[in-house]
């Protein structure tokens, strides 16, 4: 009886974890540049003294879905979308270099270029600083040009160039802050072949329909596992009653 309870209990616990991953994907369906988290169930034998008669149900988070999300035209000069493979280099809260596909850029009060989440965008030698200007343009290679204050529209000055990279995605890992990091926190070299589209944003790559289907399946699976626990309790009560009668 205890084996029945154990299998159902571990399954229910891991189903809750899988539901949390799935719910996080659904919650970020409108987050610019978001990459969905992937998970899968597996059976792991419980190692310990005695006979190997216990199996634990485990949910493994086996990485991130790097498929490109849909591109939405915004017409805003500071919005950029990476075309094809590649990432925008930003500075993480810990000061390390990290990578994102979120191109909803803005200029902070201190004159630094940052993403909508507040991460400073990296350029040549550090975060990009933008002087006061009349207008700002971002080229397809990430070059930032401004119209200096007091100058005509024919005058453009190059300020910096956004660091665009294209690392091997197998060497990237997604962390709790939603950013991607190279394993070992190593900096990735700039890749001049990466291109961006100005006036557009890449939306989340979460498949809404599939995520909702997964949510329903996980809810039914959890209900089934709880029912198994209830059935084992009823069987235990019936067995105890029969023992009393004998």
- Looking at the fold, whether 177 and 77 belong to one and the same domain comes out as yes
- Looking at the fold, whether 101 and 198 belong to one and the same domain comes out as yes
The pLDDT of residue 206 is above 70: yes
- Tracing tokens 């390390």 back to the chain, one arrives at 96
Domain residues for the domain of 79 are 71-202
List the one residue out of 239, 198, 171 whose CA is nearest residue 103. Answer: 198
- Looking at the fold, whether 180 and 220 belong to one and the same domain comes out as no
Burial 133-147 (b: 16+ CB within 10 A, else e): beebebeeebebbbb
- Looking at the fold, whether 92 and 54 belong to one and the same domain comes out as no
pLDDT for residue 101: 96
- Looking at the fold, whether 56 and 78 belong to one and the same domain comes out as no
Final residue of a structural domain among 186, 202, 218? 202
pLDDT for residue 202: 97
- Looking at the fold, whether 113 and 143 belong to one and the same domain comes out as yes
pLDDT for residue 233: 73
Q: What is the mean pLDDT of the chain?
A: 89
Q: How many domains does the chain have?
A: 2
pLDDT for residue 51: 65
The pLDDT of residue 138 is above 70: yes
The pLDDT of residue 50 is above 70: no
- Looking at the fold, whether 131 and 107 belong to one and the same domain comes out as yes
- Looking at the fold, whether 95 and 151 belong to one and the same domain comes out as yes
pLDDT for residue 53: 67
DSSP character for 183? Answer: G
196-208 average pLDDT score: 96
- Looking at the fold, whether 129 and 32 belong to one and the same domain comes out as no
Confidence band for 106, pLDDT divided at 50, 70 and 90? very high
Q: What are the two backbone dihedrals, phi and then psi, of residue 19, each rounded to the nearest 5 degrees?
A: -65, -35
- Tracing tokens 């909702």 back to the chain, one arrives at 212
Percentage of the chain with pLDDT > 70? 94
- Looking at the fold, whether 130 and 236 belong to one and the same domain comes out as no
- Looking at the fold, whether 172 and 50 belong to one and the same domain comes out as no
pTM of the model: 0.83
- Looking at the fold, whether 198 and 215 belong to one and the same domain comes out as no
């Amino acid at each position: 009886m205890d084996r029945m309870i154990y299998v159902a209990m571990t399954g229910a616990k891991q189903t809750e974890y899988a539901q949390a991953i799935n719910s996080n994907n659904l919650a970020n369906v409108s987050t610019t540049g978001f990459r969905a988290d992937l998970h899968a169930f597996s059976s792991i034998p419980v190692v310990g003294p005695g006979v190997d008669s216990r199996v634990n149900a485990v949910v493994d988070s086996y990485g991130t879905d790097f498929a490109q999300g849909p591109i939405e035209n915004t017409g805003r000069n500071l919005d950029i979308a990476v075309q094809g493979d590649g990432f925008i280099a930003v500075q993480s809260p810990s000061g390390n270099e990290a990578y994102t596909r979120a191109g909803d850029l803005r200029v902070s009060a201190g004159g630094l270029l940052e993403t909508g989440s507040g991460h400073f965008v990296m350029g040549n030698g550090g975060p990009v600083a933008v002087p006061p200007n009349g207008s700002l343009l971002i080229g397809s290679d990430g070059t930032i040009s401004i119209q200096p204050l007091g100058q005509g529209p024919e005058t453009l000055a190059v300020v910096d160039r956004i660091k665009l990279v294209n690392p091997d995605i197998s060497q990237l890992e997604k962390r709790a802050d939603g950013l991607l990091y190279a394993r070992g926190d190593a900096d990735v070299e700039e890749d001049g072949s990466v291109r961006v589209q100005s006036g557009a944003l890449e939306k989340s790559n979460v498949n809404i329909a599939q995520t909702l289907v997964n949510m329903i399946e996980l809810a039914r699976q959890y209900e089934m596992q709880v029912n198994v626990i209830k059935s084992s309790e009823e069987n235990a009560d019936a067995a105890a009653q029969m023992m009393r009668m004998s």
